[in-house]
Amino acid sequence: MAQPQTQLTLNRDVPLDKVRNIGIIAHIDAGKTTTTERILFYTGRSYKIGDIDEGTTVMDWMEQERERGITIVSAATTTFWKNYRFNIIDTPGHVDFTAEVERSLRVLDGGITVLDAEEGVQSQSETVWHQADKYKVPRLCFINKMDKIGADFRSTIASIEERLGARTAVMVEPIGKEHDFKGIVDLLGGKVYVWGSDALGAQFEVSDTIPEKLKAAVGKSRHDLIERISETDDTLLAKYLDGVEPSVDELKAALRRAVIAYKLVPVYAGSSLRNKGVQPLLDAVIDYLPSPLDLPPVEGTHPKTGEKETRKRVNEEALSGLAFKIQIDPHVGKLTYVRIYSGTLASGSYTYNSTKGVQERVGRLLLMHANQREEIKEAYAGEIVAVVGFKDTITGDTICAAGRPIILEKISFPDPVISLAIEPKTKNDQEKMGYALQRLAEEDPTFKIKSNLETNQTIIWGMGELHLEILVDRMKREFKVDANVGAPQVAYKETIKATAEGEGKYIRQSGGRGQYGHCFLRVEPKNRGEGYEFVDAIKGGAIPNEFIPAVEKGVKESMENGVLAGYTMVDMTVTLYDGTYHDVDSSEIAFKIAGSMALQSAVKQAQPVLLEPIMKTEVTTPDEFMGDVIGDLGAKRAQILGTQKRGTVTVIMAMVPLAELSGYATTLRSMSKGRATYYMEPSHYEEVPRNIAEKIIAKHV
């Protein structure tokens, strides 16, 4: 049975092999938050089941989340099931909040991927799956909404294998489907779980009697499952080939090893909203997902030598942890969420931020339950805690013992693709707005701010219209700032197509000491997405070493405002290969200006072009509107990648320039009488066709 409430902090000395750090990841609307709410209810963490439609969920605690019925920020909580401690993170499904998923996956040991039984694997499921692959997170799949019209267990499994490239281990056979869905047969244990009339789903019947009409299907599925598990283990395979069936304990142990090694993904089924199938999923987390001890030691590098360092995931080891999220709390100020990998962290102590090379004081330590908190004196290896008191630590920084420094792998975030202009309504709002934006940017690594000094406007950049809308809304509610907001603009970029050279000479002679800086730069194009690189090729001291960083600073500042339309320049190598200096008059500022002038001059001769963000788009439409939808996408410069039948609807996959998708939701709704839906996520940048580029440049001249 679940532990009583009071044991949340008492039971913190659970042995490490009984700790599970898990996250719930999925496409928008697959049922992540609903599943988390059920887990909290069955484990005794909350007294009543939260409901998204009523706005009473525990994990979606922000006002904006409750109003929209979506998850925006990942929420952390701790709960117990059968004396095991679960630290759970519920992540957003909407692509605009991809940073929340990325940072959560970086610090988790295991994941539960929730899929919609009717829709199968959707685009965002694919994106988060590959994000989890990147951090090698072992996971389980939960096929949710088995009671939905059109639910199809087998085709969802096929889509997991096909679209996600995962090798599944199907653990259950559903009893009934759509409105007849009653329960599941556990294939390994041979137990039948049936959820009856108890509305909350806490009570269910367990029996050994498999329904007659399911016996053949259960027999075949069990045979396939045993075969799949045996294939991952030589001893079991030898037994299996000799015609001896391995015992359930042997199979479970082998499956656990296979899951932790990413060889198999166990699949479960249920309906979270109807409270069916969640308890076997909790048992599966215990049986198959890793504890911190099951994982290899944490790897990092030494900040000074760059050599590889490792830490065992135990309390006795030197401290290492990763700050993965900043949250501004109205009551206690700045909270820094830290995943502790090794060692312990005590409140009131000092720790070392090896990324920044500074000491930080741990004011207080908090255990989080969504937006509620409990204060603790010490945090142990394997825990996720919030720290109050850190000043310089940001997302992705490593904290560790000063005597044994280590830098852990950082978290990478995508670049923003959309921007809008924002200005304060009154003089009074001016100062408050600067403070609010800075605080929100600390929290969200995909949110960028840029000031346009000419127009006195501030430009904010984000991952999508919803992302920016939420940030402006939070500014109003949490920081009481009123602002006028412009229309969203596409985040174009600039790059070059040819190699060219440029000279920058800055000479100022006024009374007394003058200014002298002179340099030659070469610019060369790089492949899409490779970023910017500065090469110092000065020979024979043509420019003294102390002025070279100043030239690079001038280059970087100049790249912020491109030569065509003032957009950021990307994907190029800039080589400083010659120059001259003056013994008395040369200064850093003179070389910075010379660097900036040389870059502008070189880029103008290097065939500069505009780049635009391309979105991976999926439109799901009833067949009767398919022709209209494809025709409209064609007019939007879309590249149609293919179509896929799913029941009575067709999914059209395309690459579409973001600039063409403004107001697309309304267009699609009117074209399909409100029956088609679409989903998009940033894919890559591509060159803008010349006729369109000319219009964009003309606007900025």
pLDDT of residue 234: 87
Rounded CA-CA distance 302/507 in Å is: 44
Query: Cα(37)–Cα(45) distance, rounded to whole angstroms?
Result: 9
Q: Give the CATH number for residue 656.
A: 3.30.70.240
Higher pLDDT: 456 or 19? It is 19
Q: For residue 288, what pLDDT is reported?
A: 92
46 or 368, greater pLDDT: 368
In the predicted model, what is the mean pLDDT of residues 257-281?
86
Is the pTM higher than 0.85? The answer reads: no
**Poorest-pLDDT segment among 133-142, 305-314, 331-340, 524-533:** 331-340
Residue 289 scores a pLDDT above 70: yes
Q: 398-412, 491-505, 518-532: which has the minimum mean pLDDT? A: 398-412
The CA–CA distances, whole Å, from 294 to 30, 110, 289, 291, 332 equal 29, 11, 9, 5, 35
- Which tokens hold the place of 477? 């509610």
* Pairwise CA distance, residues 415 & 463, whole Å: 8
User: Domain of 478: which CATH number?
Assistant: 3.30.70.870
Contact 111, 137 (CB under 8 A): yes
Q: Where does 165-277 show beta strands of DSSP type E?
A: 168-170, 172-175, 183-186, 192-194, 205-207, 265-269
Q: Are strands 205-207 and 192-194 parallel, antiparallel or unpaired?
A: antiparallel
Tell me what pLDDT residue 6 has. Answer: 38
Q: What is the pLDDT of residue 96?
A: 53
In this structure, the dihedral spanned by the alpha carbons of residues 463, 464, 468 and 470, taken in order and rounded to 10 degrees, is: -100
579 and 640 housed in the same domain: no
pLDDT at 10 > cutoff 80: no
Residue 40 has pLDDT above 80, yes or no: no
Cα separation, 381 vs 342, in Å, equals: 5
- Tokens coding 19: 């700790």
Final residue of a domain: which of 575, 606, 637? Answer: 606
* Residues with Cβ within 8 Å of residue 251, at least 6 apart in sequence: 188, 226, 229, 230, 236
The answer to whether 266 and 288 have CB atoms below 8 angstroms apart is yes
* CATH code: domain of residue 36: 3.40.50.300
Q: Is the distance from CB of 177 to CB of 190 less than 8 angstroms? A: no
Inform me whether the pLDDT recorded for 367 exceeds 90: no
| Residue 501: predicted pLDDT | 95
Q: Please name the residue ranges forming H helices in 11-166.
A: 32-42, 63-68, 98-107, 123-134, 153-164
Q: Which residues contact 216 (CB under 8 A, 6 or more apart)?
A: none
Which domain, by its residues, includes 306? 298-408
CB 633 within 8 A of CB 664: no
Q: What per-residue confidence (pLDDT) applies to 214?
A: 85
- Asked if residue 195 lies in contact with residue 271, where contact means CB atoms within 8 angstroms, the answer is no
437 and 516 together in one domain: no
552: its two tokens: 């690079």
Residue 582 has pLDDT above 50, yes or no: yes
Per-residue confidence band for 327, with pLDDT thresholds at 50, 70 and 90: confident
pLDDT of 71 strictly over 50? no
Of 558, 582, 606, which marks where a domain is finished?
606
pLDDT at site 58: 41
Residue 54: band (very low, low, confident or very high) from pLDDT cuts 50, 70, 90: very low
pLDDT at position 67 is 47
The predicted structure's pLDDT at residue 474: 78
| 545 pLDDT above the threshold of 70 | yes
pLDDT average, residue stretch 186-212: 76
CATH, residue 325: 2.40.30.10
Q: Is the Cβ–Cβ distance between 139 and 132 less than 8 Å?
A: yes
pLDDT at 511: 65
Q: How many domains does the chain have?
A: 5
Do 502 and 485 sit in the same domain of this protein? no
Pairing outcome for strands 364-369 and 372-376 = antiparallel
Do 396 and 422 fall within a single domain? Answer: no
Mean pLDDT of the chain, nearest integer? 82
Q: What is the pLDDT confidence band of residue 15, given thresholds at 50, 70 and 90?
A: confident
Whether residue 483 lies inside any domain: the answer is yes
Query: What Å distances lie between residue 93 and 29, 69, 128, 295, 372, CA to CA?
Result: 7, 12, 9, 27, 23
Model confidence over 408-465: pLDDT tens digits? 887 777 777 777 888 888 877 777 888 888 888 877 777 888 776 555 678 888 877 7
Q: What is the pLDDT of residue 201?
A: 54
Would you say 107 and 129 are in contact if contact means Cβ atoms under 8 Å apart? no
Q: Residues 585, 483: one domain? A: no
Residues 287, 166: one domain? yes
Given a cut of 50, whether residue 7 has pLDDT beyond it is no
Tell me the pLDDT band of 55, cut-offs 50, 70 and 90: very low
Give 88's contacts (C-beta < 8 A, 6+ positions apart): 22, 23, 24, 36, 39, 76, 77, 78, 79
632 and 683 both lie in a single domain: yes
Does residue 225 lie in a domain region? yes
Cα 384 vs. chain centroid, distance in angstroms? Answer: 17
Mean pLDDT calculated for residue range 598-603: 96
Instruction: Tell me if 399 is assigned to some domain.
Output: yes
| CB 506, CB 607: distance < 8 Å | no
Q: Are residues 117 and 17 in the same domain?
A: yes
Work out the percent of the chain whose per-residue pLDDT is above 70: 86
Residue 366: which H helix or E strand, with range?
strand 364-369
Q: Is residue 413 part of a domain?
A: no
d(CA 267, CA 140): 6
Of residues 107 and 253, more confidently modeled: 253
The secondary structure of 612-651, three-state, reads EEEEEEEEEEEHHHHHHHHHHHHHCCCEEEEEEEECCEEE
pLDDT recorded at residue 14: 72
| Same domain assignment for residues 306 and 281 | no
Q: What was the pLDDT predicted at 72?
A: 42
Name the band, by pLDDT with cuts 50, 70 and 90, for residue 330.
low
Which of 442, 466, 490 marks a domain boundary?
A: 490
Please report the pLDDT score of residue 610 as a whole number.
94
Residue-level pLDDT at 432: 84
Same domain, yes or no, for 532 and 617?
Answer: no
| More reliable by pLDDT, 317 or 454 | 317
- Can you tell me whether residue 229 is helix, strand or coil? helix
Which is more confident, 302 or 127? Answer: 302
